[in-house]
Amino acid sequence: MIELDYIEIDGLLYPNIALDDEDLYGDLGKYGNLRLKYLHEQKPEMYRELLVSGKLAQHCVNMEKSAFDMAERIRAEC
């Protein structure tokens, strides 16, 4: 069983959970943010699975890099 710390706000207890990848979310560019928004709105199961496993930020960073590289290749071919 997981031991959690709780914060009491207005008589309710909330788990004290912090994301370790908050700095990665701030560094996401256009494509990473689009992927994050897409997962949140269209694929909530995948979004939750990646979030709980701690892989969401890295997934979005990887998508950002892949999409940026693809866009650069397309621009170079024109």
The one-character DSSP state at 18 is -
Mean pLDDT in runs of 10 for the chain (78 residues)?
79 75 73 94 94 88 94 92
pLDDT of residue 14: 83
Q: Is 60 exposed, middle or buried (0-12, 13-18, 19+ CB in 10 A)?
A: buried
CA 73 to chain CA centroid, nearest Å: 25
pLDDT of residue 2: 62
pLDDT of residue 18: 64
pLDDT of residue 15: 79
